[in-house]
Every structure is written in C-alpha cells, then in structure tokens.
Amino acid sequence: MDRTDPEGAIAEAAKRYSNWGRWGDDDVLGTLNFLDDTKRAEAAGLVRRGTAFSLAQSFDADGPQRGWRRRTNPVHTMLDTGLDAERGQGFPHGLGGADDVIFMPLQASTQWDGLGHIFDHGRAWNGRRAGDVVTSEGDRVTGIETTGARLAGRGVLLDVGRAIGVDGELPDGFAITTEHIEATVAAQGDSARVGRGDLVCVRTGRLSRARREGWGDYAGGPSPGLSFTTAGWLHGSEIAGIATDTWGFEVRPNEFDDAFQPLHQIAIPHIGLFIGELWDLDALAADCAADGRYDFWLTAVPLPVTGAVGAPVHPIAVK
C-alpha cells in the first residue's frame, strides 16, 4: 500500500469490491440482502440460556463528542418532573407526570451508518449521485427507515483485543488486518466462523480504555480499528454488517499520509455495507470468553428516523 496515494488505492478498491448493480438498480439495502429469513431463523437457534446483553453505550451529556462538525453529546431535558408533580400540575385525581425531550446528533452514541452517510467522489451507494440521495430533507432514497426490521440475525463477536492485544486491548493506531481477523477466528473456535449475512462485532478494547481513562480523544482521535486492506474481506465475506467499539471503525490515524476514513469510502458507497460505531462489546465479550461461544442472536434494528443517514440503535445480543 502506497501511503502517498489514497486516491489510487481507493480507486482500485472501488473497482474490485463494488457491489453496484448486484441487487438491481433500485436497490437500497446493500449487504442487508445477504441477511434473509432463513439466516434469521437459523440464528434464533443460537439462543440457549436466554441471557440478553446490551451492546449500547449510554445516551447522555457525558459522552465522547467534542463538537467535531457540530456533533454534540445528547442533551436530555425535562418537560415535566416529579418535583412539578409534587407541587401540582393541574391534573385531576392526584395524577402526576414527567415527560422529556432530547436533542442529539444521530451518530452521537451507539449507531449504524446508513448507506447515505458516505460518498465517493459524489457518488452514493449503487452509483447514485450524492445530491440525488441526500438533501436537506434527509436521505430520500436510502434513509435508515428503509432497513425496516432486517437488522436482526446471527451476531459474531471477534474479540481482536483479547486474541491479539495486551490485556485485552489493542493500542491506538493498530490496524486490524485480514490476518488478524483470521487469527482471531481461529483462536476463538468454530462458533466464531463468519459467513454470509452475519453481523460481525469487532472488539478492539478501545472503549474499555476510555472507560478507565476518560473519553479523551475517543471521538476522532487515535484508535485501533480496521485496516484499509480489509476491504477485500469485507466484500468477500458477504457479511450484512460490522460494528466496533470505537468512534470510527477504521484505524486512526488512517493509513495514508493525507486521508480521512478511506475504508468508509469503499465500504459504504461501493460495498453497500452497514457499519456500526460506538458499540459497547465489553460485557458480551466477557461472557463469550467465559463460555467459549462467540455467536449469538443479535437484534440491532436502528430507530427508524425517516431520511436519516445514520441512526441510534440499542443492539441486543441474546445467548
């Protein structure tokens, strides 16, 4: 890989790994096409104990956002409170109520990138013009609501932090390659095999560190993450989605001298892949390490905000 030529590398990867047209010109689902009812029915069979794990970070003002591109942390305010109720709110027969409101960037906390989130040279998923897809009215073609109920199926945890890292964590700037992925699968055993339609959760340990040391530059700063060179694996594995415990999915700093999130530029508009960010995989990872089973039933259906290019989600793994 030539560090000085992101344009060239991106162009080549775009050519090799494009799924444009694979599911017809009107497709809005990308890799969700790999996740069908049959896969979903099989995945439900993974539930044994019935234990459910939340894979979400919290949604509140104490999050990692620092204002980059106007992304703040969620601001939750009350329209009515218990204090108001005690004082009297004008309702009959002693009824009292509390109510609330939120303002937040849709990618402030645990979320999926929609297919309208990233463009390559003005082109969105399936070759559409970016401006034909996402205007000030939102994503009118591939808005997150088009994913419907599909983001539920087999989840596989790849705990790269535990398999490859030190004390379960990869250092900042660590680029996870296909070899690292394969080594992790091998170390974890049969239940960690990745196949068509799977929803892959990659744990780097970056969040564990943020939890211990404070957010710092968690949002946008140095971080372990996927190498640009995994584009081929992301394409060839035919997975439906992939999520990490980091802000930006890819290794940071990126692997070119002057670059910004080049793997996104392949994965979203060309592969049509759903990328999850800011997930919390720690509790699930501890359980998987304990019982040796790395696959599970995963429901990770985003909030259906019409026209959203990204959307908050509370992913739930059940083993």
Segment 202 to 261, residues that bind a second copy, using CB under 8 A:
256, 258-261
Interface with a second copy by CB under 8 A: which range of 50-58, 184-192, 217-225, 286-294?
Answer: 50-58
Q: Does residue 15 touch a second copy according to CB under 8 A? A: no
Q: Is 45 exposed, middle or buried (0-12, 13-18, 19+ CB in 10 A)?
A: exposed
Which stretch in 130-138, 167-175, 176-184, 243-251 sits in contact with a second copy by CB under 8 A?
130-138
The least distance separating a second copy from the CB of residue 177, rounded to whole angstroms, comes to 21
Residue 41 contacts a second copy per CB under 8 A:
yes
- Would you say 118 or 242 has its CB closer to a second copy? 118
Q: How many CA atoms lie within 13 A of 16 on its CB side?
A: 14
Query: Which lies closer to a second copy via its Cβ, residue 129 or residue 193?
Result: 129
Q: Is 186 in the site for a second copy (CB under 8 A)?
A: no
Residues 91-120 that bind a second copy (CB under 8 A): 91-107, 116-120
Rounded distance, CA 45 to CA 36, Å? Answer: 15
136 binding a second copy? (CB under 8 A)? yes
1 near a second copy, rule: CB under 8 A: no
Binding flag, residue 86, a second copy (CB under 8 A): yes
Q: Residue 260 Cβ, how far from a second copy at the closest point, in Å? A: 5
Q: At what angle do helices 282-291 and 206-213 cross, to 10 degrees?
A: 120
Token couple for 90: 């004008």
Burial of 290 (0-12, 13-18, 19+ CB in 10 A): exposed
Q: Provide, rounded to whole angstroms, the least separation between the CB of residue 8 and a second copy.
A: 9
* DSSP run (H or E) holding 78: strand 75-80
From residue 144, alpha-carbon distances to 18, 58, 197 in Å are 21, 21, 18
Chain centre to alpha carbon of residue 281: 11
Q: How do strand 241-244 and strand 199-203 relate by DSSP bridges?
A: parallel
Closer to a second copy by Cβ: residue 96 or 171: 96
Q: Which of 84, 178, 222, 293 binds a second copy (CB under 8 A)?
A: 84
